[in-house]
């Protein structure tokens, strides 16, 4: 890809596709744990550079500041569909013919869930799951929007991808933030745990009054691979979290492996989604 093309991508998510391929490869079905590391070392240098920046800059202080800023929901009122269309202005121009746009990715995920006969709230969760990426359109850098998420304010698990990059995080040198529990109590529950900031936590917060609890878990933790794929951070979870993570695990393959199916016919599907959205949401919600 020429650098001339890259300059057109400034408002985009240049590493998004590489990241998705990277994660899909990392968690390819049937792969055992020893293979994860081999894959990491050979991974795309852009993905590695992305994680280097993400792990370095997602400090507890940064997360608290962003939660305060965005969880106040003062970025305007929009309907769910308006939010989807807004997100759709985020286009990966590097390969417009073969890549799905944002709405197509959302619908491909939700349609795969629908085909398997899951409940309506889960289909809707599929459609909502990446709407928080509008953080990019608010001007957030991609290391604060996408990528694996992890708890901040306590020791980093080596199950988080590229754990060696955490050494550059200022929190790494604060002993009280590096004990197993850090600022948390044993099995305090994930709702008390601050996760690295990103689109997952934001969308879960935006829809928290409208969607059922398992859907909120799916949304909030869909990029928390260290926990839902590798079982890390159980020491911060309650038995209820563990139970709810069964839903997160159920959701993950639809996000990861629905690519490659045919493009959804957005126009034809729109009436179905308008009904589905109206079943759970008022005309407009705060973002």
Using CB under 5 A as the criterion, which residues of the chain lie in contact with Fe ion when the complex forms? Answer: 130, 255
Minimum gap (Å) between residue 107 Cβ and Fe ion: 11
Minimum gap (Å) between residue 179 Cβ and Fe ion: 30
Q: Using the minimum distance from each CB to Fe ion, give the nearer residue, 111 or 130.
A: 130
Minimum gap (Å) between residue 193 Cβ and Fe ion: 19
Cross-strand bridge partners of residue 285: 78
For 41, the token pair is: 């070392």
Minimum gap (Å) between residue 52 Cβ and Fe ion: 20
- What phi-psi label fits residue 224: left (phi over 0), alpha (psi between -120 and 50 degrees) or beta? beta
- Virtual CA dihedral for 67, 91, 223, 114, nearest 10 degrees? 120
Euclidean distance between CA atoms 190 and 150, whole angstroms: 11
Q: Using the minimum distance from each CB to Fe ion, give the nearer residue, 47 or 154.
A: 47
Q: Using the minimum distance from each CB to Fe ion, give the nearer residue, 140 or 255.
A: 255
Q: Using the minimum distance from each CB to Fe ion, give the nearer residue, 27 or 184.
A: 27
Q: Using the minimum distance from each CB to Fe ion, give the nearer residue, 59 or 109.
A: 109
Euclidean distance between CA atoms 165 and 145, whole angstroms: 18
Minimum gap (Å) between residue 199 Cβ and Fe ion: 6
Q: Using the minimum distance from each CB to Fe ion, give the nearer residue, 129 or 154.
A: 129
- Virtual CA dihedral for 191, 194, 195, 199, nearest 10 degrees? 80
Minimum gap (Å) between residue 173 Cβ and Fe ion: 30
């Amino acid at each position: 890809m020429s650098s001339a093309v890259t300059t057109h991508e400034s408002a985009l998510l240049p590493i998004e596709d590489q990241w998705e391929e990277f994660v899909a490869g990392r968690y390819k079905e049937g792969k055992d744990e020893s293979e994860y590391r081999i894959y990491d070392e050979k991974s795309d240098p852009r993905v590695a550079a992305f994680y280097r920046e993400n792990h370095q800059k997602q400090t507890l202080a940064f997360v608290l500041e962003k939660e305060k800023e965005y969880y106040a929901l003062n970025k305007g009122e929009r309907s769910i569909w308006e939010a989807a269309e807004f997100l759709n202005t985020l286009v990966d121009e590097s390969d417009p013919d073969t890549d799905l746009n944002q709405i197509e990715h959302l619908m491909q995920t939700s349609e795969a869930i629908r085909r398997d006969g899951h409940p309506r709230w889960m289909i809707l969760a599929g459609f909502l799951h990446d709407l928080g990426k509008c953080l990019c359109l608010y001007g957030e850098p991609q290391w604060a929007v996408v990528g694996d998420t992890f708890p901040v304010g306590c020791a980093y698990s080596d199950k988080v991808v590229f754990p060696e990059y955490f050494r550059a995080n200022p929190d790494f040198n604060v002993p009280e933030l590096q004990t197993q529990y850090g600022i948390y109590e044993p099995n305090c529950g994930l709702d008390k745990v601050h996760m690295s900031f990103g689109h997952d936590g934001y969308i879960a917060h935006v829809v928290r009054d409208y969607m059922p609890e398992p859907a909120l878990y799916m949304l909030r933790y869909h990029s928390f691979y260290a926990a839902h794929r590798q079982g890390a951070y159980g020491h911060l979870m309650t038995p209820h979290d563990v139970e709810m993570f069964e839903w997160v695990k159920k959701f993950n393959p639809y996000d990861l492996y629905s690519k490659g199916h045919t493009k959804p016919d957005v126009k034809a599907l729109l009436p179905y989604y308008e009904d589905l959205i109206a079943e759970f949401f008022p005309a407009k919600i705060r973002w």
